[in-house]
Amino acid sequence: MYRWELLPVVGGIWELDLGGGAPHQLWSESHRIVDISVSPTNRLVYVPFWHDTFLFSVDVTTAERRQLTSHTKDNYGARFSPDGRTIAYHSTREGNSEIFLHHLDGSPETRITDDPGPDMYPDWSPDGRQLIFASERLDGRYKILITNSDGGSGRWLLDQPVSIGSKPFSVNAALVSRWSPDGRVIAYLVTANETTSLWTVRPDGDGAKEVIRDVGSFDFYRDSQHAIYTRRKGSYSELVAVHLETGEERSLFVGPLMEIDASPDGSAVAFCFGPGHMAMGLAVLRLESPSEPDGLPRAVGEPEFVVRTDGTWHIHNGGWSPDSKSLVYTQDQDYGDIYELVERR
């Protein structure tokens, strides 16, 4: 008697004799297999699953879209450079997650990192000379690395991990880190004790401190003293503007949103918006800038989609162009087909 084994990580179809003996591979598959069925007459069908992501840009006024990359695998965390000429992002197209630069003039991409430890979610310094990103290459805990944007030498922002109680924390590498627009601080998210908190640290690595708790996503707003973040609000997320020094807050919107990014001119905030994973589009909420320097913005109207999903793909946010006219984002494509295994090894 036989049964068919599925190895979704490796990718393949195996036969196993329940009476004993080693498994025998019938077929290898480069993609993950998500379903398999054997008929009474011993015919076998299976479904390989593809998950590829591509970078796009969109004009927020005209909704005109442009595909930037065609690399398969995962391509996330795209960020415009301060001069608008280059986009930094992380990609797994060569196996490990590494940082790449996509040049909008059409010149070949630049690979910034090449290390066995994953490197994820880059962001630019305000002068465009450096990049920060989360990296696991040091001791198995994600921390922030600073490197030159030309791919030169780097240094650890947090050489010695700050502790929460007696436990050293790890930067939440699934969430972005951000360099403030005025260059004064770098912010990152830490998940510990079932709570995600926003921390800031100076670019020299000193002064690390916890700023806000219960944070889903965040971005700076205009300078290092103001930010916009999300926190849980029932089954939704609440979008909140906050003064990081005084703690003053203003609620902007409540709804199914994530992955926020404030425009450089302070006129809008973009986010993924929709009732479910495959229903996530890219939306923009307009903001009224405060009249006083230390004030908080107000929301104007309701979110408006700039990219809608048709239900067969969804998006992840990236960031605004320096002129606040375009957004770069990731479009996920999930698909599979039904195959019959005719020739067995």
Dihedral angle computed from the Cα positions of residues 134, 252, 248 and 324, in that order, rounded to the nearest 10 degrees: 50
CB atoms within 10 A of CB 216: 19
CA gap 249, 288 in Å, rounded = 15
CA gap 81, 319 in Å, rounded = 10
Q: Comparing C-alpha atoms, which of 204, 71, 74, 196 is closest to residue 132?
A: 204
CA gap 122, 154 in Å, rounded = 13
Write out the chain's pLDDT in tens, 345 residues.
344 443 433 457 777 776 666 777 776 665 667 678 788 888 888 877 777 789 999 999 999 999 999 887 788 999 999 999 999 999 988 888 999 999 999 999 999 998 888 899 999 999 999 999 998 877 777 888 999 998 766 888 865 545 444 455 577 877 889 999 999 999 999 888 788 999 999 999 889 899 999 999 999 999 999 999 999 999 999 999 999 999 999 999 999 999 999 999 999 999 999 988 778 899 999 999 887 878 999 999 999 999 998 777 788 888 999 999 999 999 987 666 677 777 665
Write phi, then psi, for 278 (nearest 5 degrees): -80, 0
pTM over the 0.85 mark: no
CA gap 11, 33 in Å, rounded = 6
Write phi, then psi, for 263 (nearest 5 degrees): -70, 150
CA gap 125, 271 in Å, rounded = 22
What residue ranges define each of the domains in the chain, with the CATH number in brackets? 2-48+336-341 (no CATH), 53-334 (2.120.10.30)
Task: List all residues 6 or more positions away from 195 whose beta carbon is below 8 Å from its beta carbon.
Answer: 213, 214
